[in-house]
Structure 1
Amino acid sequence: MTTETPRTDGALARLARFCYRRRRLVLLTWIVGVVAVAFVGFSYGAASDNDYSGGKSDSAKAQALIEKHFPEQQGDTLTLAIKAERGIDDPAARQKIEKVIAELDASPLTGPVTSPYQDENLVTKDRRIARTTIPLTDKDVPKTEVKPLVDIVKDASGDGVTLGLGGDKAEKAETPPQGPAEGVGLLTAAVILFIAFGSLVAMGLPIVTGLMAVLGGIALMKLVGHLVPSPDFTVLVCSLIGLGVGIDYALFILTRYRDSLRDGDEPESATVKAITTAGHAVLFAGTTVLIALLGLIAMGQAMMAGVAVGASVTVLVTMIAAVTLLPAFLGFIGYKINALRLPRRTSRQAGGDGAATRERRTPAERWAGVVQRRPLIAAILAGASLLVLAAPALSMRLSLPDASVQPHDRSSYTSHRIISEGFGPGYGAPLIFATEVGSTNGDLGPVVEAVRKTEGIAYATPPRISKDGQAAVFMAFPRTGYQDEATADLVHRLRDDVLPKAPGGEQVYLGGPNAGAIDFAEDTSSRLPLMITVVIVLSLLLLVVLVRSVTIALQAAAMNLLSIGAAYGVLVAIVQWGWLGSALGFPTEMPVTTWVPMMMFPLLFGLSMDYEVFLVSRIREEYERTGDTRTAVTRGLAGTAKVITAAAAIMIAIFTTAVLGPDVSVKQIGLGMAVAVLVDATIIRMVLVPAVMELCGKANWWMPGRRALKADPTPPDGVEEPVRV
């Protein structure tokens, strides 16, 4: 906990002095360490693991049977979809189609390709639409090698013939990289820092510190992936969260350093004071983020555990950089922290009679006064606004994106559209039934027939026995698509009613990518309350230790839940309901990606606690000095408003860059987190916190087994001390 006179003999003070005095050694260690870890991590890091299956769900059991008894089906496949306006038998159309099929068949990446001219089942009755499956010889083929196949198909379209190449590998191959989005975020952050500090030197330090920390953190995350595998989106999530907190943590410390220089401290003393105050708060805030992220482990899903560990490693490196690398930089910069700055007008008004003068009241002070005069009205209006924003979250649906929600210029979307038109929307959402073959269920005919007669099933295939004779599989295609709620209802009806009533159906497991996505979504929904509980309880305990107040810790938890709920609601309204979705780059209305709300909660809860720590710690300092809650809130808000606003603006800029990218799931998490930070930095910090603390009065500082805090025995005189911003 920070106080007005920080300790100068503690561990943090000693660390700050060491890093300041041995700055060359510290900087060299960081540079060599980051370069070495980056080389090893990016060269020998673990490959991504996007497997969301596993556990005890029916889809996991079906997948286990298929992997054990049908190894020949483990390779990835692509689907070529063909639509010819004059029919595929038109000579010009046939020449083009056969040429494409021959080029795909000749690729070293593909196995034998069956032409639709050789199998009537691959062609619609009107012979305008056809399809064929293209097996890939290597399960781990890089997407860069699949991209030429996508280009062959896209380039061949035209003159009345439309072709599309679908499949997971094709989707990934034609998804462009994030591009310059991160650069846009960094440039925006630089502008914000320059406006906040007015100095190019002060602007550059947080960015350099954040970049070095993120580079080292991501490389280390890739090495940790050998122990805890993580999905491919983990790198982008780590970049977003690492840059956000890395720059923000450096910003908070640098602000305190400049304040201390302004008060007359020497650079070394100012560095020590900044680390023992803002640096101490950074460690608490970062630890809260770590606890929140590791709460993902409570989900019991290997994929999310990998994300949690990977992101935690990145945040941990940014924390270490803030309290070691930044003090070393300050040792080099010293008094030049304000160098290369724009001239600014001063707001100080000198008294002509030589009497004591005071600085003008800042906008934050004036705003705090407005809220404190009508705290109940302010709290009700702010709370109602957040509840309205959160209301759409009650209708949230979860799923995983497929080709139907990709941009319409993608070949994978073209393939989906053609296949849906010719063979039904359920062709892209196959249900795979698997069972072990034994004496009790050797004849799957009754099961297949029961499935075929189920309302919502378009058709079912005959069962196929494995080569070892120990397992059987068959497929059924629903009439509805992958993202339709009716498809999820159909899966439940088959599992709960149809299979149990069919002879031998009790041992049949319903799986496949579609059912797996449904199981993943439902497992996430059922475990989310546990994760939320774990994150809140652990974070509350940490915050109680920091501010030594149960009341403020409970206030923080409630307000964080409100801001996260508001972010969920806005996300549902834009992504699922389609409000402004097209303007923000979402191709169509779609369910929220399953892992997005699960990932958002711990990240946002931890980040919200960051702002809570920095604001409340400053309020606590003022309360211990004055003993007056209203004065403490006013001065605390005034002393942190500018830096929290700048930090929030940086976070919003960085998270918004994800919306500029091509991945619809990453766009969702970027949008949701930007909205949450905006709500947290405005409605929560500027309205709810001062209003609720004004209403609670001295009860804010309640702690079991401890007397209420007393006022400073030497309170300030009638002349209010100037507030530093």
Structure 2
Amino acid sequence: MSTSNTDGALARLARFCYRRRRLVLLTWIVGVIAVAVVGFGYGAAPDNDFTGGNSESAKAQELIERHFPEQQGDTLTLAIKADKGIDDPAARQKIEKVLAGLADSAVTGPMTSPYDDKSLVTADRRIARTTIPLSDKEVDKTEVKPLVDLVKAASDDSVTLGLGGYMAEKAETPPQGPAESVGLLAAAVILFIAFGSLVAMGLPIVTALLAIVAGLALMKLVGYLVPGPDFTLVFGAMIGLGVGIDYALFIVTRYKDSLQEGDDPESATVKALTTAGHAVLFAGVTVVIALLGLVVMGQRLMTGVAVATSVIVLVTMIAAVTLLPAFLGFTGYKINSLRLPRRAQRGNQPVTGASRQRRTPAERWAGTVQRRPVIAATLAGAVLLVLAAPTLSMRLSQPDASVQPHDRSSYTSYKILSEGFGPGYGAPLIFTTQVDSTDADLSPVVEAVRNTDGIAYATPPRVSRDGQAATFIAFPSTGYQDEATANLVHKLRDEVLPNAPGGRNVLVGGPNAATIDVAEESGSRLPLMIAVVIAISMVLLIALVRSVTIALQAAVMNLLSIGAAYGVIVAVVQWGWFGPALGFPAAMPVTTWVPMMMFPVLFGLSMDYQVFLISRVREEYERTGDTRTAVARGLAGTAKVITAAAAIMIAVFTTSLLGPDIAVKQGGLGMAVAVLIDATIVRMILVPAVMELFGKANWWMPGRRASKPAPAAPVRLEEQAGV
């Protein structure tokens, strides 16, 4: 029986945590409670302002904030539709009652009634609107929820009312609900099937839960240094739950194997940490480095997401190599307690020589692929390329009211306003420029914009009180999500404004233009982030498996699987294939941050699975010198643990579809698809086929003599991978 390094730092850590298990557990419990109280009680509020940087919309926003302070703060928009017209006595009574209720709220400022301003009403008097300023920038969504309820309750068959605006959408969005709980339950079922023991099932879950609570609390504290948007916590919980359970799964699996080989609990704990723990540390560092690749995007909030999610991965990794060994000290030989009856009978039987020689289904499948490697690789590659093809038409944007569930007041407001004032009412373009005095004349610029195809109408210009800036608003004839709106913004910037008298210094801003700028900046920087993440991950993988060829294979295969996941997202979200069935009410562009966030997470996870598989293959190759045998045995030895780990990830990511956040749903769907593809097409078909085709070239490394394989190492690479 091969031995592991029992004198290294990990071995000493394992012995300490095992022997001082009560101290370690108490430290973790006290630490988690303390961090949770501080983090959840006093953590930083989320920051959802994706503007900033050097984009034109960011400069326009800065100018407006400096010279038009009265325009700051959130607003709500009340949309009204009366079948008999808003002047019908019954309709007017109902509408004025709602207006009075909104005006009496402590969180709203002065507003204009549509009965006092004809510009707020359509020509046929059937549709009206009014803007309701919120009195304080710090208004909470819970304070806006009663206003939404008031408007919804007043609607009936004759008068329809809807309350729109960012805070109205937030107030109506329900909490995440049972999504994480369902994911946790699914993970428990998978672990119970894999281990056949309630005790073995519970250890990864309890370890992951304690780590997630501490990690989420730390994420809120980190928000003071690098702020992140509100989806960071949901996304962090999803990633933390997946990797936390997976990391503990690898260590518990190795511990159980060591007990079966005859080790005592302490020796098994040391071996598990010096083998699987080594792989967990590599896996965690890989994911963290991949996540920090988001910093390359140069976006303030995405940097916050990168740092915050890296924190939760680090906490789960630390829990796996400290807290879990302490738990193993408490369980000892009882790790297999409360087993399934059929497993209990099988688990007590000794492993005979004949059973060791019996080929597993995974090994037989690898042999089938290896007999026709060209066909297998071609078919698998073709499937991945077909799935990835829709990626070429990917469009990026931010969700707006048009893609909200149709029973929400914000969607009702959007529909009424689009019908009465055009779909571009929710996509205003704010033009601003510096001027010399209050007498500055922007009329030629306004006229040029008003006469541009795609502009529905434009407001008269107005100058700031200090006489240093002027602004006006134009409304497109197309909606927020329409590609034509983005094209219009470019036309205004590139053609219309430069050719209008005094228009060269006019900036185009507003939420719509900001979304377009962020999406285009993200798309342009995405290749750089991909290149950085791939380069760093390849260096780490080369150092671990000592092969340039395998590192290149891993990079290409990971790109194919992630590209396929991107393609599936485009087909479902943007093209609308099966969208309603998966919780997407309408076809929409892909949310800007989703591809950025998906790539580092998935590349890191894919590299983890690659390490677990290739390390075992490498160990078998050094033992036999035959690539075909090494691949078949390596696949057989890792198939169960990788399948269980992937199944847990898929279950956790898929449950995001149960939540209310459209963007988080997109990310969860994409990552679930990517892990599924990686665990099936890539690991089960592409890897054995490609490695069969490369033969001994798989192990090419500059400076290494290729005469014959090196003798078996004292420390098994299988053990380094923990499988």
Mark yes or no: TM-score above 0.5.
yes
* 1:483–1:590 contact (8 Å) kept in structure 2: yes
1:224 aligned residue: 222
Shift of 1:152: 0.2
Q: How many Å separate the matches in 2 of 1:267 and 1:368?
A: 34
The answer on 1:622 being equivalent to 2:620 is: yes
1:43 matched to 2:41? The reply is yes
Preserved contact between residue 701 and residue 709 of structure 1 (Cα < 8 Å)? no
CA distance in 1, matches of 2:181, 2:216: 17
The match for 1:720 is none
Unaligned runs of 5+ in 1: 716-723
Q: Which amino acid aligns with 1:397?
A: R
Task: Report matched runs for 1:174-213 at 5 Å.
Answer: 174-213=172-211
Counterpart mapping for 1:117-196 below 5 A: 117-196=115-194
Deviations 1:562-599 (A, max 9, x none): 00000000000000001100110100000000110111
Larger deviation, residues 419-428 vs 437-446: 437-446
Aligned-residue offset at 1:622: 1.8
Whichever residue aligns with residue 44 of structure 2, its letter is A
Task: Specify the alignment match of 1:718 in structure 2.
Answer: none
Q: Secondary structure at the match of 1:474?
A: strand
Q: Distance in 2 between matches of 1:357 and 1:46?
A: 57
Mapping of 1:86-485 within 5 angstroms?
86-344=84-342, 358-438=356-436, 442-485=440-483
Contact kept in structure 2, 1:624 and 1:709, CA below 8 Å: no
Task: Give the corresponding residue for 2:692.
Answer: 694
- Residues paired across the two proteins, number: 713
Query: d(CA) in 1 for partners of 2:93 and 2:439?
Result: 48
Q: TM-score, with normalisation over the residues of structure 2?
A: 0.96
**Residues 487-502 of structure 1: matches in 2 within 5 Å?**
487-502=485-500
Larger deviation, residues 605-614 vs 483-492: 605-614
Residue 507 of structure 1: SS of its match in structure 2? coil
Give SS of 1:472's match.
Answer: strand
Q: Letter of the aligned partner of 1:236 in structure 2?
A: V
Q: Distance in 1 between matches of 2:356 and 2:526?
A: 52
Alpha-carbon distance between aligned partners in 2 of 1:712 and 1:567, rounded to the nearest angstrom: 39
Cα distance between partner residues in 2 of 1:598 and 1:608: 16
Tell me by how many angstroms 1:356 deviates.
5.7
SS at match of 2:362: helix
Offset, 1:75: 1.3
Conservation of the 8 A alpha-carbon contact between 1:348 and 1:360:
no
Tell me how far 1:626 sits from its aligned partner: 2.3
Cα deviation for residue 271 of structure 1 reads: 0.9
1:380 and 1:630 mapped to 2: Cα distance? 19
Q: Secondary structure at the match of 2:38?
A: helix
> Which range is displaced more, 422-431 or 623-632?
623-632
**Distance in 1, Cα, partners of 2:513 & 2:536:** 34
What whole-Å deviation, never above 9, does each CA across 1:296-354 have from its counterpart, x for those lacking one? 00000001000000000000001101111111100110100000001226779999xx9
Matched to 2:674, the amino acid is A
Shift of 1:616: 1.2
- Measure the CA separation in 1 of the matches of 2:317 and 2:25: 16
Q: Which moved more, 1:154-163 or 1:336-345?
A: 336-345
- Write the distance in 2 (CA, Å) between the matches of 1:450 and 1:512: 19
Identify if the C-alpha distance between structure 1 residues 350 and 145 changes in structure 2 by more than 3 Å, giving closer, same or farther.
Answer: closer
Counterpart-to-counterpart distance in 2, 1:630 and 1:271: 33
SS class of match (1:82): strand
Q: Distance in 2 between matches of 1:505 and 1:714?
A: 74
- Following superposition, the deviation at residue 45 of structure 1 comes to 0.7
Give me the whole-angstrom Cα distance separating, in 2, the residues matched to 1:642 and 1:608: 16
Residue 709 (structure 1) shift: 7.8
Please, which moves more after superposition, 470-479 or 634-643?
Answer: 634-643
Matched letter for residue 70 of structure 1: F
Once residues 597 and 441 of structure 1 are traced to their aligned partners in structure 2, the CA distance between those partners, rounded to angstroms, is 47
Cα deviation, residue 707, structure 1: 2.0
Aligned-partner Cα distance in 2 for 1:336–1:635: 30
Deviations 1:507-550 (A, max 9, x none): 11000000000000000001001100110001111111111111
Separation (CA, whole Å) in 2 of partners of 1:356 and 1:203: 29
Q: For 1:79, what is the secondary structure of its paired residue?
A: strand
Deviation at 1:443, TM superposition (A): 1.8
How has the CA–CA distance of structure 1 residues 649 and 348 changed in structure 2, closer, same or farther, with 3 Å as cutoff? closer
Would the alpha carbon gap of residues 444 and 93 (structure 1) be closer, same or farther in structure 2, given more than 3 Å must change? same
Q: CA RMSD in A?
A: 1.9
Q: CA deviation at 1:397?
A: 0.5
Instruction: Tell me, yes or no, if the aligned pair for 2:619 and 2:712 is still in contact at 8 Å.
Output: no
Q: Is the 8 A contact 2:438 2:468 kept in 1?
A: no
Q: Say yes or no: does 1:6 pair with 2:20.
A: no
Q: Deviations over 1:375-431 (max 9, x none)?
A: 111111111100000001100000000000100000000000000000000110000
Q: Deviation at 1:355?
A: 8.6
Deviation at 1:698, TM superposition (A): 1.2
